[in-house]
Structure 1
Amino acid sequence: MAVAPKLTRALISAPLPTIIEQLGVSIASAQAALDRNSVQVAQQMAASEVEIGDETFNLISLGFQPTFYAFTEATVESKLSFTLMESNEFGISVGAEVGGFAGPVMFGASVDVSYSRKYSASAEGQSSIAARLVSLPPPEPFVAALRRTFETEAAED
């Protein structure tokens, strides 16, 4: 049966290492984009000013902080299912007839032979990728640097 080895080779040669590698690269890229976004939010908070009484404050100096996010886990799940079936059918039917009246006798026989072999193959695949994302406080050195920068600017004004 030529179908089974081909199907089995195709399922076994699924590029699982490549899938895992691409997941890692994708998460690293997404993490970098999240970090860039958080830094941009911090810059926007620093540029946003609020007047309280007769004083002006930026959001960072008031204690607002951007939210940072981190991937804590990622899962790749893959399910493969395949079914191979082979069936053989063999049939024989025999018939005989005898005919005659007073005189010669006639015989008739029929033989019907059949043979069939059937193959079927089916394959199903299902996969999913899940990632867990949590929020973290900004790194303390980052916040301290922001505060120092704006305290210096406030003192110069």
Structure 2
Amino acid sequence: MANNPLDYMKEVLAAPLGELISSVGSGVADAQAALDAGSLSQWLSLYSEDGDNDEVLARLREIGYQPTFYTLPETSVEAKVSLSLSAKSSLNAQTQILPETGKTRMMASPVNASIANRFNLDAEASATLKFKVVPVPPPGNVSDIRVAPNLVTLTLAEAEAKLSELNLQYQVANQIDGSPAEFTQDSPVMAQTPAAGSLVRRDQIMVLQIPDPDAKTVPNLANQTLEDAAAMLTDMGLLWTLKKDENGDMPRPVKTALVTSYTPAFGNVVEDGDTITLEITEVDPLAPTVTLGQPAT
């Protein structure tokens, strides 16, 4: 512990007032950022694909509900510090050396108990923070923001309905270059631009790719049981095999295993006799199996 009374004062008042003011300003900025993030999160939830599955959110969207944005238009801080210090010191009768004081700064911090007891220090400090939170209109462009839904594997009719709920428009890929589009409302969507989860504007057009109706394409096998996927591929004149594990071993083709991924991917053009490689979940090793490349039995 220092012997200079000024050092004791600094220990009692450990934080410069400039840092105190700076920290308050940073806190206000963080609070405003948190308010904005919360409002924006509500907006994206309202106009996202997950919002379609929530009846309350769907109804709020239908009536034109808009989440409220808030701001901190005014913040004031008042700090009061009162100090009283008395100390006794004994000096050598032969020699008296005055301490160097140097430049001092006004500091503020909680009172140190050891100093208060030793130097009969009384310190009082109080701070008052006042702020207002008021609602404000949302930023001009926020009302046009949407989250692109996942349309891949949906039929064109299902994709159109989902986009309509979000007030988004679409075009089929081969309509853009002016060539005739040959598809039906039951045609599956094999790809989309922008990708699912991207932020899009309400006036932005989603581009959907539809497979050629006259071409043979890989069907949607995701989450199908291996038994059903095998039957589907065999009926189309296609062969199938399983993806080997990291040790190079072929997993057992258990009927109830689910297909997690496959190559070529959904919508790719294939020909009779082509092989589709399936990746499946782990299953009971004693469960019935399916013969590779053959329909399920």
TM-score by length of 1: 0.55
Structure 1: unaligned runs, 5 residues or longer: 52-56, 87-118
Q: Could you say what the CA RMSD is over the residues aligned between the two structures, in angstroms?
A: 3.7
Deviation at 1:128, TM superposition (A): 2.7
Deviation at 1:65, TM superposition (A): 0.2
Structure 1 residues 25 and 13: CA distance shift in structure 2, 3 A: same
Deviation at 1:68, TM superposition (A): 0.7
> Which position in structure 2 is the counterpart of 1:70?
71
CA distance in 1, matches of 2:129, 2:11: 21
Please tell me the residue identity of whatever aligns with 1:130.
Answer: K
Deviation at 1:26, TM superposition (A): 1.7
SS in 2 for 1:151: coil
Deviation at 1:153, TM superposition (A): 5.2
Deviation at 1:85, TM superposition (A): 6.3
User: For each residue in 1:4-58, what CA deviation from the matched residue of structure 2 results, as whole angstroms up to 9, or x when unmatched?
Assistant: 755665677741111111122222222222211111111222225659xxxxx55
Greater C-alpha Rg: 1
Q: Is the 8 A contact 1:4 1:121 kept in 2?
A: no
Structure 1 residues 7 and 79: CA distance shift in structure 2, 3 A: farther
State the percentage of identical aligned residues.
28
Structure 2: unaligned runs, 5 residues or longer: 88-118, 147-162, 173-184, 186-297
Please tell me the residue identity of whatever aligns with 1:41.
Answer: Q
User: For each residue in 1:46-88, what CA deviation from the matched residue of structure 2 results, as whole angstroms up to 9, or x when unmatched?
Assistant: 225659xxxxx553352100011111122221111123569xx
CA distance in 2, matches of 1:16, 1:70: 26
> Which position in structure 2 is the counterpart of 1:89?
none
Question: Structure 1 or 2: larger helix share?
Answer: 1
Structure 1 residues 120 and 37: CA distance shift in structure 2, 3 A: closer
Structure 1 residues 136 and 18: CA distance shift in structure 2, 3 A: same
TM-score by length of 2: 0.32
Matches within 5 A, 1:6-155: 14-46=15-47, 47-48=51-52, 59-84=60-85, 120-146=120-146, 150-152=166-168
Question: Structure 1 or 2: larger strand share?
Answer: 1
> Which position in structure 1 is the counterpart of 2:110?
none
CA distance in 2, matches of 1:36, 1:7: 44
